[in-house]
A and B are shown apart, each in its own frame.
Chain A
Amino acid sequence: MKQAATNSAALQGAGHDKSGSLSANIAKFRELGLLLFIVILSVGVQLRNPSFLTWENISDIATNTAILSILAVGMMLVIITRGIDLSIGATLALSGMVSALTVSQYPDLHPLLAVGVGVGVGLVCGVVIGFLVSWINILPIIATLGMMNVFRGLTFETSGGKWVSAHQMPESFKAIATGSVFGINNLILIAIAIYIVAYYFVSHTRTGRRVYAIGSNPESAEISGIRTGRILWLVYSIMGGLSGLAGVLWVSKFASAQGDTASGYELSVIAACVLGGVSIAGGVGKLSGVILGAVLLGILNNALPMINVSPFWQNFIQGSIILIAVLVNALVKRGIDRNNLMRRKI
């Protein structure tokens, strides 16, 4: 009887073999696939609009993607712990606004201090959310949904509903994002630096590995002595700090701080993460995937207007990308699980 059952399972396994290995292969070659897709997309857009692959436009895409990819690092950590952070658009706006107001008051402030102010504000926001999630045990979606509104409201309140525009900001502040070192834009350099630090953090420090452990199985992580609360707190604080940094960079790049800066930007960041293979179920996610996801989204955002896609399609396209990406992730996971099961049988 048992034999028969195994045989039938084997038969079934054989029948599914192809699809199983295919979806497992997607997992192995996700980065390659994303890269391929990016190349195809770029060539396609280039054929429609020759000004796409010009040096100017490419550097434009790169600087735009830099901010997205900085945020995606933090979001990756948050999603790996099975959480989600909807408040980062608002955190970004608040810290951008505070630092812009600061420099408009004190034009002689060193730009690094302005960055510090922004990061500080973001960090405080992140610490608050981390406290709510880790200590009071509020679901991340609810905590961040609530705080999103609080931060957005605070942004309006601190500025009195007014904008801080280009002429109120000193040149040194605007130079944070527009300046360059060795011909490479600062934003790109900052993003690269953050990726190097993040790479070291997630793969070579204990705390980084613990983030993954919590995401894979919170109970066993707790039992094996990991202080899950602290790690969660840390993760949301990192997310907040990165949002603060992104806020300063954003305001400096666009030379304007508004109440509704980056409204809905969290969705792009989440899209970049799930495109890059970060599993919403937790515990899975690689920096290489996330950076490619961010680049792909950055290219899409830049390319769609260039091939005359109405801006009103943007929401729909972004939502569809998220949905398709998470569905593909789910199917890939099923394929891997099935392959693992088959291996165990033999």
Chain B
Amino acid sequence: MEQRLIANKKELTLKGFFLQWEWLLVLLLIGVFVMNSNLSEYFLDSANLRDATMGFLDKAFIVLPMVFIILLGDIDISVASIVALSSVIMADLYNHGVPMELAVIICLAIGTICGWVNGLLIVKYKELSAVIVTLATMIIYRGIAYILLEDQASGKFPSWFKFLGWGYVGGIPFILIAFVFFAVVFWILLHKTTFGRMVYAMGNNATAARFSGIQVDKIKIIVFTLAGLMSAITALFLTSRMGSTRPNIAMGYELEVIAMVVLGGVSTAGGKGRMIGAILAVFLIGFLRYGLGLVNVSAQMLLIIMGVLLIVSVAIPQLKQRFAYARRK
């Protein structure tokens, strides 16, 4: 009977502490660092490390809300399209005479609205899974981006906009500061607020969560809206870094983001996983890609590696569970 009680916090033993998934990620991260510094003697230079983060942190903003979505047992594959749509609308408005400040705000608003629409559809039509809803909106959002910009590129942003992707504050890349800020905010939201606890509760058992008075619909909508907003923030940083935008921008980001989240130890069955794991996975995959770039691994090979990484990181916990189950039998 006692086993049925859910402990507020797991008892922390030394062995349990070091057997956590996150430590494996830390080890892997160290492994990647060793590999990279073997490949290039300039890798372990503080300036180089600092600049390397600028290259991969843009999509990391989506990882944070995606943790929430996957904790709920859902998935959102429309995020890359939201990035494209909000970026294209921003660029289009700016090039039609709207001041950049306003265009940036509209970009954020568009992302938020896209995410909200996803959430609303998923909540209103419970028969539909998040997979199919976001699959449809993924095509629609990118479709709107194509209608707006066709096969053109749009750019020529004011110089201050470049600061987002390329600027430094006190020697630290601005994008890194922004990511750390948002990571802390989302970490607090997930682990230190009732909202976060409710997300865990819903991920473990949505029906029970509803019966215990959690407004499940509201929380789901908020989570998907957050994903929209963070996709728009990614759009800002990515557009700033690229200097221009096209409708096919951020292609395949959903794969990488989901890969980072599941590699971070968040279970696709919902209700299990922590923010810190996903954040570690961001840096792990980021530096791995950077290192592979150093040895001239082709983009296609990277595709394969990312795909395999996604599969392996989902498969490991599943296999672990399977063997644990077999042993108990």
Give residues 101-149 of A contacting B (CB, 8 Å): 132, 136-139, 141-143, 145-149
Interface residue stretch chosen among B60-68, B95-103, B285-293, B299-307? B299-307
Given A148-B307, A327-B125, A333-B127, CB of A319 within 8 Å of CB of B301: no
Binary CB contact string for chain B from 231 to 271 against chain A (1 if under 8 A, 0 otherwise): 00000000000000000000010110011001000001000
* Cβ B301 vs Cβ A142 within 8 A: no
Taking residues whose C-beta sits less than 8 angstroms from the other chain, chain B's interface range is: 35 or more
Given A319-B136, A319-B137, CB of A280 within 8 Å of CB of B129: yes
Interface residue stretch chosen among B15-23, B142-150, B173-181, B186-194? B142-150
* Cβ A137 vs Cβ B311 within 8 A: no
Q: Is B138 an interface residue (CB 8 A)?
A: yes
Q: Is B1 an interface residue (CB 8 A)?
A: no
Closest partner residue, chain A, to B256 (CB atom): A149
* Cβ B307 vs Cβ A141 within 8 A: no
Interface residue stretch chosen among B3-11, B200-208, B314-322? B314-322
* Cβ B314 vs Cβ A142 within 8 A: yes
* Cβ B128 vs Cβ A138 within 8 A: no
Q: Is A55 an interface residue (CB 8 A)?
A: no
Q: Is A182 an interface residue (CB 8 A)?
A: no
Give residues 134-176 of A contacting B (CB, 8 Å): 136-139, 141-143, 145-150, 152-154, 156-157, 161
Interface size on A, residues (CB 8 A): 46
User: Complex formed: what's the CA distance from A330 to B150 in Å?
Assistant: 33
Q: Is B153 an interface residue (CB 8 A)?
A: no
User: Complex formed: what's the CA distance from A142 to B322 in Å?
Assistant: 19
User: Complex formed: what's the CA distance from A150 to B147 in Å?
Assistant: 30
Interface of A is mostly: helix
A141's partner among B128, B131, B304 (CB-CB below 8 A) is B131
Q: Is A196 an interface residue (CB 8 A)?
A: no
Interchain nearest-CB distance for B325 vs A (Å) = 11
Closest partner residue, chain A, to B130 (CB atom): A141
* Cβ A280 vs Cβ B132 within 8 A: yes
* Cβ B303 vs Cβ A150 within 8 A: yes
User: Complex formed: what's the CA distance from A132 to B301 in Å?
Assistant: 21
A322 surroundings in chain B (CB, below 8 A): 132, 135-136, 139
Interchain nearest-CB distance for B317 vs A (Å) = 10
* Cβ B128 vs Cβ A136 within 8 A: no
* Cβ B131 vs Cβ A157 within 8 A: no
* Cβ B311 vs Cβ A138 within 8 A: yes
* Cβ B150 vs Cβ A149 within 8 A: no
Q: Is B75 an interface residue (CB 8 A)?
A: yes
* Cβ A146 vs Cβ B307 within 8 A: yes
* Cβ B304 vs Cβ A157 within 8 A: yes
* Cβ B127 vs Cβ A330 within 8 A: yes
Interchain nearest-CB distance for A218 vs B (Å) = 14
B139 surroundings in chain A (CB, below 8 A): 267, 315-316, 318-319, 322
Provide a sorted-by-A list of 11 A–B residue pairs whose CB atoms are within 8 angstroms.
A136-B315, A138-B318, A141-B77, A143-B311, A149-B310, A150-B307, A153-B300, A312-B147, A315-B146, A316-B146, A323-B136
Interface residues of A (CB under 8 A from B): 84, 132, 136-139, 141-143, 145-150, 152-154, 156-157, 161, 259, 267, 270, 274, 279-281, 310, 312-320, 322-323, 326-327, 329-330, 333-334
New A-B pairs, 4, CB < 8 Å, besides A137-B318, A312-B150: A84-B135, A153-B300, A153-B307, A318-B139
